[in-house]
Chain A
Amino acid sequence: MSIRVQRDWGEIVRRAVRYVVLGAVTFVVCFPLIWALLTSIKPTGEIFTSPPTWLPKELVVEHYSALIHGKPMYFESGSDYTPDTSPTQHFLSWFFNSVVVAFGAAFISVAIATLAAYSLTRFRYHGRRVIPYLSLLGYMMPPIVLVFPLFLVIVDLGIANSLWSLVFGYVSITMPFCTWLLWAFFRGLPVEIEEAGLIDGASRFQVFYQIVLPSALPGIIAAVIFSVIVAWNDYLFARIFINSVQNLTLTVGVMHFFEGVHVNWGLMMASAVLMTLPLAALFMFFQRHLVAGFGAGGVKG
């Protein structure tokens, strides 16, 4: 016996509308990225043709190779001043700086936040209830308020114009929020799993790194991703803490592709694409972990 499936036209229409709306929103959100990608592979001459071409007529990698090989810029501004190095020659070190600073800051920030959050949820002392809320409050402070006092501290420490200054700066803005995030996470982790570990004969330390840390992994990954994004996208701190061109990070560095009134859009867009890639890859890799990990299941109910 076969079952006739009835077509529900209303449902089909609703579904179609849903797809159209979602597709439109996705397109709007992704448009800048798509446009940057398309622009970056057009020859310089084609970028400003009117009407604009959608797909490049001619596919070139000159902007990418200029960034990677550090070719001198082929555009002459016409002014008397010609710098002895061109910004493209620094692109790779900016990229490297960004990676070091973002991941270094994320590592330090999350390492401290993890221990702090664990202690806040498991040990009893004065203030353990207010600290998480205060740290959330601290994160709400706009960075512009913090940046000058921090700069003075950094000068006093003698680390101005070094990557350390950025690492410390980013740790100081991401760590409070990471602490709060992980605090919320550890709070949801039943203390009985640790007690079970102790009864099973593990030391406190073993319990921490064999049971607690792996169980909190989704929270830790979320905190790392958050910290990396904040550091990676920061402009303000890098603009103020760093003087020398080779110590810049990407966000400030690529501003050198503006030369007076002229902007080299091809390089700009190629940099934008290269800046986005690492984070996009990071997200894609960890997203599965994030979703799968939430709602730890060691406990019934």
Chain B
Amino acid sequence: MALDVVLSRVNKLFGSNHVVKDVDLKFPALNFVTLLGPSGCGKTTLLRMIAGLETVSHGDIYFGERRINLVRPGQRDVAMVFQNYALYPNMNVFRNIAYSLRVRGTPREEMEKKVREVAEILEISHLLDRKPRHLSGGQRQRVALGRAMVRNPAVFLMDEPLSNLDAKLRVNMRSELKLFHQRLQTTTVYVTHDQLEAMTMSDLIAVMHDGKVQQFGTPAQIYNEPCNLFVAGFIGSPPMNFLPASLDRDSGGRLRVGGAMLDVPGETFPGLGDCPADAKLVLGIRPQDVELAAEALPGSLAGEVVLVELLGSEKLVDIRLDGGQRLVVQVRADRDIAVGENVRAVISPNAMQLFDEASGESLRRR
């Protein structure tokens, strides 16, 4: 039976090192939730607390109604795929998958049947007699999944299970894991520092930084409405452009960016009116949301092309604006553009983000 996982003001300290800070999250049952963040932000630590492998310093963790802070890992009904898979080196694939059933005293026949079923699904039936050291990375990963799958756990935890696979296998496994989640009908908590994995697989993403949850929402919310500068810069590839901006009261609340004046959709940024006149702001815009124009349209930013990178179907154009700031623009690959060319960048007002420079918070309505 799948359960909600609720983290209530969860903290973790290693000595005086505060690694997880006041994490408040609710993972609804059956959802695929991703903890996303840069290396060292405390994702693994949080996951290990949910698994029961680390104690909780302050706060509570609930599975459904049950507080599980003091419940031993074996009693929590969780399954976990470790970053290094952690297969039992002395056991063959069959016994690896069967181990959890064996310690529960499952009858031989039932065990046999379940393991074969799982092996069938994961297409590792022909490997059942092999020892882990004779398997490839992708095969080991399937065994690790099989070990979790045979349990039919209430909560399924995965710590960067794809990080050691090659790029192609990683893409395949992404969709397989998603299918796997649908088949398993379990609340899944997935840890990764790869935003693409998070975006493609998750129902909900918790972006973490420095032990704190920065934003918790659907992939679309996180991408389109990042709540602060960190999330905006971390999500999206190529990363979002940030330009210093300020409010120009004289022109009726338009935005001054470099030498240009931009219109701001007031209904998207209702907080803008309350800003002090001298507030320092940051304009965020994704490279995909900037157009290059030949002539000087009003509200366009002038600059010179300094670098062009071909990505295949797109080109990244690196522009030095007249004010000296850099702006990266993504255009179609067939667009002719040369280094040294003078261009005008037009920012799509609906795609722009505005942040308060001091606090880093978004001014967008929520």
Interface positions of A (Cβ within 8 A of B): 190, 192-193, 195-203, 206, 210-211, 214-215, 217, 295-301
Contacts and interface: CB of A to CB of B under 8 A. Distances in A.
B88 A197 contact: yes
B104 A299 contact: no
B86 A195 contact: yes
Contacts of B87: 193, 196, 297-299
B314 to A, nearest CB: 34
Interface string B65-88: 000000011111011101011111
12 contacts: A192-B84, A195-B80, A198-B73, A199-B53, A199-B78, A200-B103, A201-B103, A215-B88, A296-B90, A298-B133, A299-B86, A300-B85
A217 B51 CA distance: 29
A206 B103 CA distance: 8
B74 A200 contact: yes
Contacts of A190: 84, 86
Contacts of B89: 193, 215, 296-299
A296 B133 contact: yes
Contacts of A295: 133
Contacts of A297: 87, 89, 131-135
Nearest to B164: A300
B89 to A, nearest CB: 3
Nearest to A195: B53
B147 interface: yes
A202 B86 contact: no
A296 B82 CA distance: 17
Contacts of B84: 190, 192, 299-301
A200 B73 CA distance: 8
A217 B53 contact: no
Nearest to A193: B86
B85 A299 contact: yes
A193 B140 CA distance: 13
B86 A200 contact: no
A196 B133 contact: no
Contacts of A202: 74, 99, 103
B299 interface: no
Given A192-B86, A215-B88, A199 B104 contact: no
B90 A211 contact: yes
A201 B88 contact: no
Given A297-B131, A297-B132, A298-B132, A196 B88 contact: yes
A195 to B, nearest CB: 5
Contacts of B236: none
Contacts of B137: 300
Contacts of B152: none
Contacts of B104: 201
A190 B83 CA distance: 12
B268 interface: no
Nearest to A211: B88
For B84, B90, B135, the residue with the greatest tally of chain A CB atoms inside 10 Å of its CB is: B90
B13 to A, nearest CB: 16
B147 A215 contact: no
Contacts of A217: 90
Nearest to A189: B89
A290 to B, nearest CB: 15
B86 A196 contact: yes
Given A217-B90, A297-B133, A300-B140, A198 B74 contact: yes
Contact of A197 (B75, B79, B99): B99
A96 B86 CA distance: 44
Nearest to A201: B74
A201 B55 CA distance: 18
B8 interface: no
Interface core residue of B89, B91, B135 (most chain A CB under 10 Å): B89
A138 B72 CA distance: 40
Given A196-B147, A200-B103, A299-B85, 13 more contacts: A193-B87, A195-B82, A196-B82, A196-B87, A198-B53, A198-B74, A199-B80, A210-B99, A211-B90, A297-B134, A298-B87, A299-B87, A300-B140
Nearest to A216: B90
A253 B84 CA distance: 54
B100 interface: yes
A199 B74 contact: yes
Among B73, B86, B164, max chain A CB count under 10 A is at B86
